[in-house]
Amino acid sequence: MIVGMITPNDGRVFLDDVEITKTAMYKRARMGIGYLPQEASIF
């Protein structure tokens, strides 16, 4: 949810006391939030 791929049904998401619940994924990436899958895959 923190990356923005899944939207929460209820509640809010905060990072460093800033609400990012409705922040676009590209803006979250600019904030330094990234996604790294656990599976070893090429694509």
E-strand spans in 1-43?
Answer: 14-15, 18-19
SS3 category, 29 = helix
Q: Domain ranges in the chain?
A: 1-43
In the prediction, which pLDDT does 5 show? 85
Alpha-carbon gap, residue 41 to 38, rounded angstroms? 9
pLDDT tens digits along 13-39: 999 999 999 999 999 999 999 888 788
pTM: 0.70
One-letter identity of residue 36: L
